[in-house]
Structure 1
């Protein structure tokens, strides 16, 4: 029994014909073991009865009996092998989709641990063991499990693809490098692999940067959608407010029209009722006299009739009104509706003027930006506050030395102007400037490429979109030709709004919530900068500064 527990190796239980574990093992007289079916088939297909192992020839076909002892050992070996395989299978992982399965496993495929480039087979841990223990198999080249092992072999020479031809940019085997690519630049796969790894690393970094940029663009687009949604909600709310007010005005106008017509109708009805009442009274008196006359005319008493006629003057009718010229003329409603519509139009116009400018200003104020003055662009005659929010003219003599500042291409050298630090090349932006106390000023936006070292003409054609004040009460839109603006009152604070994509520059009287002027249909292709010109001090009459004010949405 002790000998039975020390099981021989698997090789001792392999049939030399089928190379598998014995099934019904038999032993020939020469001492060699075979599966009963294997040796029988072998002899049936050959002219001689010889042993496949030692080639001993038998004169007659031997009678074969199953070797009972060997059969028991084979059965014990099979059971032990199955237990070992079952235990190993439980420890190993079953192949999942995307993983390389073992090519040897039957039934449930286990995950391959290695692939052999010689056998072109992938093995799980159990079936890999011969490659780790058998001397002949140890020389085989094992790699991490891969699919399509045939694709790793040279189709021409049936050798592993171990080299890379840089000349032809293809993988080759050792024979290829000697025969077909002997004059080419051939390097080991690992060397080319390392180089490609570096290149792939750079490519991956570039792709990650592209991904990041696109993620940022997604966020930007989402933010734009959110802003658009906010704009839409705000416009809807303002629209509801405006149209509700207009609807109420229309309803009031309709009610007033109906009441006016009804009042006229009531007056007509009252007049008619008074006439009818008076007519009915006269009819009653006349009917009474008619009855008296009729009764008297039937009297047979001569004396009584004559006396009654004389005493009562009965032949004369009772006093009545002359109704010949009396009539009820229907009330005239002609022009009533037209008059009401005209009045409604006036009311709606007032409501529109009251509601829409304020609503529009609130809308553009949502795009307020923080603007500060750029001292590097300011004319040497200007004085800027430390916080960059105020600018006024310093009353410097233009003929004096400009301290070498005129050579600066960024600085205005011949006019009293300054730009904002902030530039805009897309979207919408809005800022407000206090102009209180000034008699002259220019405000707006300018494109980046304007020439700041020459006398300028303020116009869109020259890169300026501005409005200006002259002589204390004359307001202009700086175009070609200039547009004289008619304002109800001088603005104390001016709002500047730009929609870059729409090509729109608008100016607002902030306190009056009124639109001053709009440049429309503009084509912007460069950065735009806020533009400020406080103009000359004018002996103190125009000394007040231009002040960039914080935007407060009411």
Structure 2
């Protein structure tokens, strides 16, 4: 040990071996040494600096570490605040969603209960009316049977005799009763209430459902020349040769895309696109103001929220960076849901109503559907069109 205790009352400590003041610091051994230790002692050849310089360097190093720790502490504090915000938001959003789910299902239950009540009342009224009519017909029928019995008994008694004069008298007394006019016998007309009951109720249920598949259409004026739009404007198919179209600012001239004819800047919207078994397609929404000229990049920062399929199995959400999606079954119809105020664009397997991906954003301009059936490649098999699904109710 080369240092003899700590300095007392400001006195500099001395080397236990040489008795000289410890005025230097050995960077190798990380300790204070005297001049003899540094020149000819055990620290010879080591890097040695003055204690003041070492102290300054150590303070500078510690200050740098302190700044790093303070920065990390600040980062963790910010992270903790974000966790707290997200915790609060999760609780609030979950409560809002729970209330919404309860209200939606309560509305459905109320609708079904009301429909059931109305139908049961109609059945009860029909039953009551039918039974009352049948009771009336039964009472009339019994009265007629009694009257006929009163006529039949004397005749039956007369038939038991062999006295001709008695028979003649009975025959003269007998008068044919007036012809009876019988009302038709009613029956309970159950067929009035039969048929596809659940389907009829399901169709009426659309009166209370706020978001149903909308029958959007394509905008001819935006379609790339290699795209053909059907007469009803709900199907688009890629071509091998361009159509003789008029070029205009609204038309895509490079990207094989077409926009929808309906833009929106408020509300909740849902539509479905039939993709069949195509190996590639692009579907999404974009700001109505996106450029139609040159190549376009699907990314939210450029105002496009898009899902793509390539090679029949590679699904990708075009985000920043792109996100590879794991899709268990190949959907034949894609559902797209947009909540403008809520800042949500969701994609679904429309047949299973299974979520594929959701984008979150803050929309600032009108949105419009964007579609691309992609280029028609040699050897492409099957139906290559995209069709906007229309729900017929």
TM-score (ref. length: structure 1): 0.35
Higher-RCO chain (CA-CA 8 Å, sequence separation at least 6):
2
TM-score (ref. length: structure 2): 0.47
